[in-house]
Chain A
C-alpha cells in the first residue's frame, strides 16, 4: 500500500469498533455525574443486586474448586455453601426490590422498554439458575424438589429435554449454561441503562438552557 492511501470501504473490524463506540453516548459508559433527580435510596438496589451477583459467582467458583460434593464432607465447604446460599437470598431480595422500584418509576419510559424486558428476562434466568442449584445439592431437598418439579416440566414437554432427575445434567446447566446466559442478559441490561441514562421523573419537563 502506498503511503497516504486510505481504504474507502470500512472493514469488519472498523465497523465493529464503530458499533461498540456508539453503544453508549461518549463519556456515558462510566459517567462521574448523574442527573440531579437521581437522589433516592431506591436507586441503590440495582448496584446491590449486581454486587450480590458478584458474591454469588465468587462463592460458586470456590465451591467449584473443590467440587459439588465438598460441602457435605467439610466444615469449610459447608461454610462456603452457606455463603453461596445467603448471597443468593440477598441477590433475589435486592433484585425484586429493584424491580418494584423500577415499576413504580415506570422506568420503561423514553425508549427504555428493552431495558425493562432484559431485566425481566434476567429475573427469570436467575430463578432458573437458582432452581438448578437446588437440584444440584445432592441431598433430601434435591430429591424432593426434583421429583416434584419433574411433573410440572413433563406436563409441558420440557422435561423430555431438561431432566431434573439427572444431577449430572442439572449441575452443568447451573454452572455453565444458565450463568452464561444470565451474564449476557445482565451485560445487555447495564449497557442499555448507560445508553439511555437514568429515566427522568414521571411528567418531568424538558430542561432548556
Chain B
C-alpha cells in the first residue's frame, strides 16, 4: 500500500490532480453510443405512448364566435384607453409608468421600441379597411373629426354601459351619449367574424410573421385568459410550469413561478420586475457557488458524497484526524 499525504495550502486542503490517481479501463465512446441508443428508445417510447399536445390557436374569428360580447367590450376598451395594452407603457407606448425595482425603472429605460397605438392600430385602422358599409364610414368620419377628449368621453361612457349590461350584451345597453362608438363596436365584431382580422392587423400585410398586434388585442380580452385558467395556466396557478391537458410542462421553471404564489410578490404591482431581479440574484448565486463561503461547503457538511465514493473511502487504509478544512 503506498503512503499517501493530504497536501495543504494555507491550511486548506488542496484537491489532488486527478491524473495522478490509479486508473482502470473505461470506454467513453461505447458509453456514449449506448446512452444515445437508450435515450433514443426512451424518446420513441414516450412519443408513441403520449404523443404531444397541440391545442389549436384561438383565432380572432373563433374568439368572436365564442365570446362576441368580449370582442365588443375589448374594442371599446381600446378606444377608451382602458385595456391592458392601451395603458401598458414601454415598449408599446408611453401611457404607463413601467415597473420598478426600487429606484430603477428598466422598462422605461428601454423605451418604446414596438410602438402600438391601441385605439388606432387595433381598432380604427382595421375598421377603415372595410368596404361598402356606409354607416361605418360615417361613424369613422365622426370619430376622426372629434377631439381626443370627446372620443374618450364617448368610449368611456359606452364601456361603462357595457359593463353594466347583462352579460355585457350591447343590445341591452340603455341609450346614451356614446357617439359613433356603438356602430364601431358592432362593425368590429362583424370584421372579427369574417376571419380576416389577423391579416388586417399585420403591419406587413400578406406575410405577417410578427403577431404582436393580434396577440395584444386577444390578450386585452377576457376569453384567452378564461381558457388558460380553466387549465391552471394562470400566473397565480403555478401556470408557468404547466401545460395544456395532462402533459408535463416546464417543471424547471418551478422556482421562477413559485415567487408569484407568495407575498409580497403575489400582491405587488411590480411583481414581474421584482421576481426577475430576485431570480437574477439567485441565478448568480448558483453560478458563483464555487466562491461563496458556506454555500460551497454544503456538500462536505451533508456527506452524500460518502455514498457516491464509498468504494474509494473504504479502500483508504488510514484517515487523518482533523480533516475539517473547507474543500478548495
Residues of chain A at the chain B interface (Cβ within 8 Å): 25, 28, 30-40, 42, 44, 47-48, 50-52, 54-55, 59, 71-72, 78-79, 81-87, 89-90, 92, 96, 101, 103-106, 108-113, 116-117, 120-121, 124, 127, 130-131, 134, 137-144, 146-148, 151-152, 154-161, 163, 165-169, 196-209
Contact = CB atoms under 8 A, between A and B. Distances in A.
A47 B27 CA distance: 12
Contact of B47 (A36, A79, A110, A205): A79
A172 to B, nearest CB: 10
Contacts of A39: 311-312
Interface residues of B, number: 111
B10 interface: no
Interface stretch (B64-72, B175-183, B185-193, B297-305): B297-305
Given A36-B23, A79-B47, A163-B212, A116 B290 contact: yes
Nearest to A171: B209
B55 A141 contact: yes
24 contacts: A32-B28, A33-B26, A34-B26, A38-B26, A39-B311, A79-B51, A106-B299, A108-B290, A110-B16, A116-B290, A127-B250, A139-B56, A151-B272, A152-B275, A155-B98, A155-B106, A156-B101, A158-B110, A165-B215, A199-B15, A200-B18, A204-B16, A205-B6, A207-B4
B91 interface: yes
A72 B55 CA distance: 10
A109 to B, nearest CB: 4
Contacts of A203: 6, 13, 300, 323, 327
Nearest to B302: A104
B90 interface: yes
Interface in B11-50: 13-29, 31-32, 35-36, 38-40, 42-44, 46-47, 50
Given A157-B107, A159-B91, 8 more contacts: A38-B26, A48-B38, A78-B54, A86-B52, A120-B287, A139-B55, A140-B227, A206-B20
A38 to B, nearest CB: 7
Nearest to A106: B299
A44 B107 contact: no
B90 A121 contact: no
Nearest to B228: A144
Contact of A55 (B22, B43, B114, B248): B43
A18 to B, nearest CB: 20
Contacts of B109: 157
Contacts of A163: 91, 114, 210, 212
Interface centre among B5, B42, B240 (most CB of A within 10 A): B42
A190 B166 CA distance: 64
Contact of B56 (A44, A140, A161): A140
Interface stretch (B139-147, B154-162, B216-224): B216-224
B270 A209 contact: no
B281 interface: no
Contacts, number: 300
A27 to B, nearest CB: 10
Nearest to A107: B299
B132 interface: no
Nearest to A108: B290
B328 A110 contact: yes
Interface of B: 2-7, 13-29, 31-32, 35-36, 38-40, 42-44, 46-47, 50-58, 88, 90-91, 98-99, 101, 106-107, 109-114, 209-212, 215-216, 218-219, 224, 227-228, 233, 235, 239-240, 243-244, 248, 250-253, 270, 272-273, 275-277, 283, 286-291, 296, 298-300, 302-305, 308-309, 311-313, 316, 320, 323, 327-328
B277 to A, nearest CB: 8
A146 B240 CA distance: 11
A31 B29 CA distance: 10
Contact of B113 (A79, A160, A200): A160
Nearest to B284: A120
A154 B91 CA distance: 7
B110 to A, nearest CB: 3
B312 A37 contact: yes
A207 B305 contact: no
A168 B210 contact: yes
Contacts of B277: 156
Given A82-B50, A139-B55, A203-B6, A157 B243 contact: no
A103 B36 contact: no
A7 to B, nearest CB: 34
A155 B276 contact: yes
Interface centre among B7, B91, B313, B323 (most CB of A within 10 A): B91
A152 B305 contact: no
A208 B3 contact: yes
